């Protein structure tokens, strides 16, 4: 398949001013009657044909301006409907038939238990009717839904419901009108047996908006947290950006069958139930945090995505990077900003860095794609959000707000590009941001190297900053990018020193260097002893930092940094030093600085001023994905055991302190979803994991006890996963009990599957094999696939990479079966092999052969793109 290229972009051949759709809904056969008002785009190149996208549609009728078309006037192909010599302005009438119940791809119109729903982003609308299915065609939609009243009591679409009524034969209809022009990817309907909960939000200009969450009735009592998060999001967007909601109703529909997290369709968001249905009793803190973030994310899209949308799919990060940045800021304001930042950086490093250094490396604004669904990536989302954060970093919060204001002032109602966004930021602040375009255009994580030289006689510290972005496929040479680097100096005893800059290099503004060149040097003087240098506070740019510091320096940073992210970073560096030493074959006892590291972590545990959640993250060793990023010829089993050995040592060193934290926080951990209670649960989970790693015989009983006394799902699941992952005596009973208790809850069964799929115990593979046949599992449900197969490939590095290739084989078989049903979900699974070149020769070869076998077996376009790239 030929790729689609950004360089080939041309405006759409026609404009569609108005769309009128009439659905005769039915699970087996739905008929869609469409009337489009089209007119030639003023800038369009003249052409004799007009292609309207359409896939898997049966055309029943076609007419232009009321005249049925003769066969010579149109042609239907796998791509769509070609109109030959259409007039400059006309009404196109088509009628098509589609089959929702047979739709296993979950794109377009499909069935989920007792209702029908749609997913149109990126190119699902063409599976519903013929259309110019591209985001720069923005039209006003009127939608009439008609169906059997008993089977489909609820009929929802975008905008406001303007008419409804009952018809003969037990049928009824509802008519919807969306006053805002929108691209087809934001179209949605949901119809069927749905209940709802309801609340109101009064906007700052005094309008009342009716808010509803629709779901199957049993999920509704657990959806109030999400509804509250929606209200908080609406309030936050008004306060922070002056952005108000623009319709009288806002509806969310939750489904258990969904390819992604959620979808921001105009005024009719559709959510994976995982991102809505959550309360303390049945969801973990991580789940609730996720729900809050996704609800906010989709709501924020109403302005960043819907009112101002993307010109083409290469600009996806225009809405996604920006909206992720916005939801990150919202979440930071809801709870602990420090913990949020640490979590986000961990995610970026675990998911995006490997993407950037692997075969699928692509710029935040890609220049070509085969299947757009494959570009909903950590790079477009998370790295995209980091780039937006860079603007905030260099312009300040107020400058950033000025840029946002100008962006909406200029582009409301338009489909624009990331260049337009950057121009608004620059123009609103009268600065030149042209070099930031490189962040969008260059793939690969820039490596920032910091070297220090101290002249003790003159008391001068010289610091050199240099950057280099490694070459990626098709992009060998890279240019320097602007990197904001906050700088701080500390004395050995932890006192923060003033920065006295000498006249070398650019003068710092607000203790921050913006590195724009390949290399720049700074000097600081007035120093009595070599200070401890700290750079990149708050992870100020998405770079890989190479800054060699001694154990002594890292210990000072761990103990005294004012920025919590930097303390976490020092802990990660110390942990990495230990793990890599053991991996390289040293006995842990012989590793340099071991005693000092032990003392530093003990002191950290005793620091009463430290947020227990930040402490928990400092005690959480760098994960295997992140470590692997910085290694070659990886032996995954050796890496797992090295990391485990360090965890064991840490658990033994800190035993007393960990027990203290565990017991001291017991009461707070029974509290609600507030910062102190969630922090208490986090530190208790971390402490218990390390204690058991340190001595399972002594502390394993605490996990069994927690399984029984758990007061919320966070505790219950922590206990269950510790029992299973450490292979403790009570694991089978705990698994059986969990299953029995939550058999009726799809989301909790997902967790039950994940816990087993991620277990490092020797029986993990046979468990996964058995679970594939368990009634709780099906290849047809994306959440189940991700919970079992996805988790196994992503988190179970020990058994996925089993030396005999059994993990790869099992995974590939499952992937192939899923691919036949749902290409979009399968393509995600394919990415698990992307890092294959980083492994030791035997695993490399086994993975390469597995990829070849998959390709030969015949894959969907989605999966084939990933696998082909991996083999290139």
Binding region for ligand DPP (CB under 6 A): 121, 260, 262-264, 297-298, 320
Residue 822: CB minimum distance to ligand DPP, A? 16
Q: Taking CB positions, which residue lies at the least distance from ligand DPP?
A: 263
Tokens of 174: 């509802």
Q: Report residue 821 CA to chain centroid gap.
A: 23
Residue 58 CB: number of other CB atoms within 10 A?
Answer: 12
**Residue 123 vs 320, nearer CB to ligand DPP:** 320
From the list 107, 264, 292, 298, the catalytic residue is 298
> ∠ at Cα 271 (268, 276), nearest 5°?
115
Residue 378: CB minimum distance to ligand DPP, A? 12
Residue 376: CB minimum distance to Zn ion, A? 9
**Residue 292 vs 320, nearer CB to Zn ion:** 320
Tokens of 550: 């001694």
**Residue 323 vs 331, nearer CB to Zn ion:** 323
Residue 376: CB minimum distance to ligand DPP, A? 6
Tokens of 50: 């007009």
**Residue 351 vs 758, nearer CB to ligand DPP:** 351
Residue that the structure tokens 């989709």 belong to = 298
Tokens of 701: 């009983």
**Residue 317 vs 721, nearer CB to Zn ion:** 317
For helices 564-583 and 594-605, the axis angle rounded to 10 degrees is 150
Q: Report residue 403 CA to chain centroid gap.
A: 25
3-state secondary structure 599-616: HHHHHHHCCCCCCHHHHH
Radius of gyration of the chain (CA): 28
Residue 429 CB: number of other CB atoms within 10 A?
Answer: 19
630-662 in b/e burial notation, b at 16+ Cβ within 10 A?
eeeebbbbebbebbbbbbbbbbebbbebbeebb
778-795 in b/e burial notation, b at 16+ Cβ within 10 A?
ebebbbbbbbbbbbbbbb
d(C-alpha 689, C-alpha 692), whole Å = 5
Residue 8: CB minimum distance to ligand DPP, A? 24
* Cβ atoms of residues 484 and 541 within 8 Å: yes
Residues 304-343, one symbol each (x = binds Zn ion by CB under 5 A, - = not), give: ----------------x--x--------------------
Give DSSP secondary structure letters for 497-561. EP--B-SSSSPPBTTEEEE-SSEEEEEE---SSPPEEEESGGG-SS-EEEE---HHHHHHHHHH-
**Residue 121 vs 576, nearer CB to ligand DPP:** 121
d(C-alpha 827, C-alpha 816), whole Å = 10
Residue 669: CB minimum distance to ligand DPP, A? 32
d(C-alpha 58, C-alpha 237), whole Å = 43
Q: State which of positions 64-83 bind Zn ion (CB under 5 A).
A: none
Looking at the DSSP assignment, which residues form a beta bridge with residue 22?
33, 144
User: Which partner in ligand DPP, Zn ion, none is near 260 (CB below 5 to 8 A by kind)?
Assistant: ligand DPP
* Cβ atoms of residues 168 and 122 within 8 Å: no
Residue that the structure tokens 């010289």 belong to = 462
φ and ψ of 601, to 5 deg: -70, -35
Residue 53: CB minimum distance to Zn ion, A? 22
**Residue 105 vs 547, nearer CB to ligand DPP:** 105
Residue 529: CB minimum distance to ligand DPP, A? 50
User: Which partner in ligand DPP, Zn ion, none is near 121 (CB below 5 to 8 A by kind)?
Assistant: ligand DPP
User: Which partner in ligand DPP, Zn ion, none is near 178 (CB below 5 to 8 A by kind)?
Assistant: none
Residue 266: CB minimum distance to ligand DPP, A? 12
**Residue 107 vs 298, nearer CB to ligand DPP:** 298
Give DSSP secondary structure letters for 212-244. EEEE-GGGGGG-HHHHHHHHHHHHHHHHHH---
Tokens of 817: 């079966």
User: Which partner in Zn ion, ligand DPP, none is near 263 (CB below 5 to 8 A by kind)?
Assistant: ligand DPP
- Contacting residues for 714 by C-beta, under 8 A, at least 6 apart: 280, 284, 285, 286, 678, 681, 685
Residue 297: CB minimum distance to Zn ion, A? 6
> ∠ at Cα 267 (264, 271), nearest 5°?
45
User: Which partner in Zn ion, ligand DPP, none is near 262 (CB below 5 to 8 A by kind)?
Assistant: ligand DPP
User: Which partner in ligand DPP, Zn ion, none is near 285 (CB below 5 to 8 A by kind)?
Assistant: none
**Residue 385 vs 765, nearer CB to ligand DPP:** 385
For β-strands 208-215 and 249-255, DSSP reports them as parallel
Residue 201: CB minimum distance to ligand DPP, A? 20
**Residue 384 vs 746, nearer CB to Zn ion:** 384
**Residue 30 vs 269, nearer CB to ligand DPP:** 269
Q: Tell me the H-state helices in 36-142.
A: none
User: Which partner in Zn ion, ligand DPP, none is near 50 (CB below 5 to 8 A by kind)?
Assistant: none
Residue 260: CB minimum distance to ligand DPP, A? 5
Residue 728: CB minimum distance to Zn ion, A? 40
**Residue 293 vs 616, nearer CB to Zn ion:** 293
User: Which partner in ligand DPP, Zn ion, none is near 829 (CB below 5 to 8 A by kind)?
Assistant: none
298 is catalytic: yes
For β-strands 58-64 and 4-5, DSSP reports them as unpaired
Tokens of 9: 């972009």
Residue that the structure tokens 């259409």 belong to = 86
Residue 382 CB: number of other CB atoms within 10 A?
Answer: 26
* Cβ atoms of residues 486 and 536 within 8 Å: yes
Dihedral through CA 857, CA 860, CA 866, CA 871, nearest 10? 30
d(C-alpha 667, C-alpha 664), whole Å = 7
* Cβ atoms of residues 321 and 384 within 8 Å: yes
**Residue 144 vs 297, nearer CB to ligand DPP:** 297
Catalytic residues: 298
Positions that interact with Zn ion (CB under 5 A): 320, 323
């Amino acid at each position: 398949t030929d790729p689609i290229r950004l360089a080939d972009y041309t405006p759409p051949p026609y404009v569609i001013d108005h769309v009128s759709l009439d659905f005769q809904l039915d699970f087996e056969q739905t008929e869609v009657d469409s009337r489009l008002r089209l007119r030639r785009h003023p800038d369009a190149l003249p052409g004799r044909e007009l292609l309207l996208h359409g896939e898997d549609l049966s055309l029943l009728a076609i007419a232009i301006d009321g005249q049925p078309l003769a066969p010579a006037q149109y042609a239907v192909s796998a791509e769509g409907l070609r109109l030959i010599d259409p007039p400059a302005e006309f009404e196109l009438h088509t009628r098509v038939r589609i089959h929702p119940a047979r739709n296993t791809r979950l794109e377009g119109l499909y069935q989920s238990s007792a209702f029908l729903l749609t997913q149109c982003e990126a190119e699902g609308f063409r599976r519903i009717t013929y259309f110019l299915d591209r985001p720069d065609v923005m039209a006003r939609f009127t939608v009439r839904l008609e169906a059997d009243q008993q089977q489909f009591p609820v009929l929802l679409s975008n905008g406001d419901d303007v008419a409804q009524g009952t018809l003969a034969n037990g049928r009824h209809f509802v008519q919807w009108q969306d006053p805002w022009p929108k691209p087809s990817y934001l179209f949605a309907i949901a119809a069927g047996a749905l209940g709802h909960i309801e609340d109101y939000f009064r906007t700052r200009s005094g309008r009342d908006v009716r808010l509803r969450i629709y779901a199957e009735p049993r999920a509704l009592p657990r959806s109030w947290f999400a509804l509250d998060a929606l209200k908080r999001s609406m309030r936050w967007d008004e306060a922070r950006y002056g952005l108000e909601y623009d319709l009288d109703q806002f509806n969310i529909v939750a489904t258990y069958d969904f390819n992604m997290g959620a979808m921001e369709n105009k005024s009719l968001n559709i959510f994976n139930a995982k991102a809505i249905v959550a309360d303390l009793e049945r969801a973990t803190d991580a789940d609730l945090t996720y729900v809050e973030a996704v609800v906010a994310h989709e709501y924020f899209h109403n302005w960043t995505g819907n009112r101002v949308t993307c010109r083409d799919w290469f600009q996806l990060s225009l809405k996604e990077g920006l909206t992720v940045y916005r939801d990150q800021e919202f979440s930071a304001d809801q709870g602990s900003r420090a913990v949020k930042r640490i979590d986000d950086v961990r995610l970026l490093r675990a998911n995006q860095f490997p993407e950037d250094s692997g075969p699928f490396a692509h710029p935040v604004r890609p220049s070509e794609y085969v299947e757009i669904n494959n570009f909903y990536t950590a790079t477009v989302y998370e790295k995209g959000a980091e780039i937006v954060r860079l603007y905030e970093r260099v312009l300040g919060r107020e400058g950033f707000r000025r840029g946002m204001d100008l962006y909406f002032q200029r582009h409301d109602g338009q489909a624009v590009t990331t260049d337009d966004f950057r121009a608004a930021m620059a123009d609103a602040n009268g600065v030149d941001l042209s070099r930031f375009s490189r962040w969008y255009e260059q793939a690969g994580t820039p490596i920032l190297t910091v070297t220090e030289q101290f002249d003790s006689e003159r008391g001068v510290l010289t610091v050199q900053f240099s950057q280099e972005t490694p070459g990626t496929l098709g992009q060998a040479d890279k240019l320097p990018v602007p990197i904001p680097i906050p700088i701080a100096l500390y004395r050995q005893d932890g006192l923060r020193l003033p920065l006295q800059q000498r006249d070398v290099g650019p003068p710092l503004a607000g203790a921050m260097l913006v590195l724009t060149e390949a290399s720049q040097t700074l000097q600081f003087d007035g120093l009595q002893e070599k200070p401890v240098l700290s750079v990149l506070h708050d992870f100020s740019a998405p770079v890989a930092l190479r800054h060699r510091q001694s154990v002594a320096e890292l210990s000072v940073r761990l103990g005294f940094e004012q920025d919590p992210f930097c303390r976490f970073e020092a802990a990660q560096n110390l942990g990495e030093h230990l793990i890599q030493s053991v991996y390289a074959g040293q006995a842990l006892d012989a590793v340099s600085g071991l005693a000092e590291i032990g003392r530093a972590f003990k002191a950290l545990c005793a620091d009463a001023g430290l947020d227990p959640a930040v402490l928990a993250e400092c005690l959480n060793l760098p994960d295997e994905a992140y470590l692997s990023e910085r290694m070659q010829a990886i032996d995954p089993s050796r890496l797992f055991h090295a990391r485990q050995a360090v965890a064991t040592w840490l658990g033994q060193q800190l035993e007393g302190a960990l027990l203290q934290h565990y017991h001291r926080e017991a009461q707070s951990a029974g509290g609600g979803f507030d910062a102190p209670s969630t922090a208490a649960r986090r530190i208790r989970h971390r402490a218990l994991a390390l204690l058991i790693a340190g001595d399972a015989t002594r502390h394993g009983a605490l996990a069994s006890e927690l399984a029984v006394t758990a007061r919320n799902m966070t505790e219950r699941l922590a206990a269950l996963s510790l029992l299973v992952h450490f292979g403790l005596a009570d694991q089978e009973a705990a698994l059986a009990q969990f299953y029995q208790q939550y058999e009726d809850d799809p989301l909790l069964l997902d967790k039950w599957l994940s816990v087993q799929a991620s277990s490092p115990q020797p029986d993990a593979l046979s468990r996964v094999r058995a679970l594939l046949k368990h009634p709780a599992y099906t290849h047809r449900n994306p959440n189940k696939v991700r919970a079992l197969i996805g988790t196994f490939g992503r988190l179970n590095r020990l058994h996925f990479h089993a030396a005999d290739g059994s993990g790869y084989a099992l995974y590939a078989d499952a992937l192939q079966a899923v691919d036949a049903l749902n290409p979009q979900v399968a393509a995600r699974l394919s990415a698990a092999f992307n890092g294959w070149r980083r492994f030791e020769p035997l695993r490399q070869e086994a993975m390469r052969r597995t990829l070849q076998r998959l390709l030969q077996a015949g894959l969907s376009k989605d999966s084939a793109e990933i696998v082909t790239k991996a083999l290139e």
